[in-house]
Amino acid sequence: MKLSKADRQKELTNRLKAEPFITDETLSEYFKVSIQTIRLDRMELGIPELRRRIKDVATQNHDEIKSLPIEDVIGEIIDIELDKSAISILDIKEEHVFTRNKIARGHYLFAQANSLCVALINDELALTTKSNVQFKKSVNLKDRVIAKATVISKSKHIAKVEVTSTVHGELVFQGQFEMYYSNEGENNG
């Protein structure tokens, strides 16, 4: 059943609050309307396009990161609370997939998770000492991978971080990372 414009816009607002990084294409499929209709609805509601929403969130957080330059992160960090948790997104493009089957190469999923762990550590130096990862499901061209990293524990020079990566809410990758950091001073939790 198609919604009225007012109901669709109300639902669109709610959906974007719940999932701020959902694409116009996915929204058009969900509401069974054209992409142009979604764009017009967003414009009327004053909701910026996806790229702008991501950039607005990401630029708020980049100044906090100490352990590596933001351009070294694989994916785009959209939320970070140092020594606690972080989220990044990675849109799978042609350069990330095998040419024959369009499945994402595993090292990109690992690199997204690993660089998110490094960025999460509140120190000038953070290095991965050990990882245990599992690839749960294949990721395909044009998928959006959302990686969430959480610091599980932190002791003298070692932080343990858990990462889960999902596509459309479905688990595709998980890992536990042990991170070495150099400073155990008051800047670390």
Residue 62 pLDDT: 53
Rounded mean pLDDT of 127-132?
96
Token readout for 128 is 């991965």
Q: Which amino acid is at 19?
A: E
Per-domain boundaries in the chain: 5-47, 62-181
Rounded mean pLDDT of 157-163?
96
Task: Write the CATH number of the domain with boundaries 5-47.
Answer: 1.10.10.10
Residue 54 pLDDT: 65
> For the chain, how big is the Rg over CA atoms in Å?
18
pLDDT in tens, 47-97: 878 767 666 655 555 556 776 666 778 898 888 888 999 999 999 999 999
Query: Up-side HSE of residue 84: CA atoms within 13 Å toward CB?
Result: 6
Say whether 62-181 and 5-47 share the same fold: no
Q: Return the residue matching tokens 């688990």.
A: 171
Q: Which CATH superfamily is domain 62-181 in?
A: Hotdog Thioesterase (3.10.129.10)
What is the band of 186 on the pLDDT scale with cuts at 50, 70, 90? very low
Rounded mean pLDDT of 101-128?
94
> 3-7, 57-61, 112-116, 153-157: which has the minimum mean pLDDT?
57-61
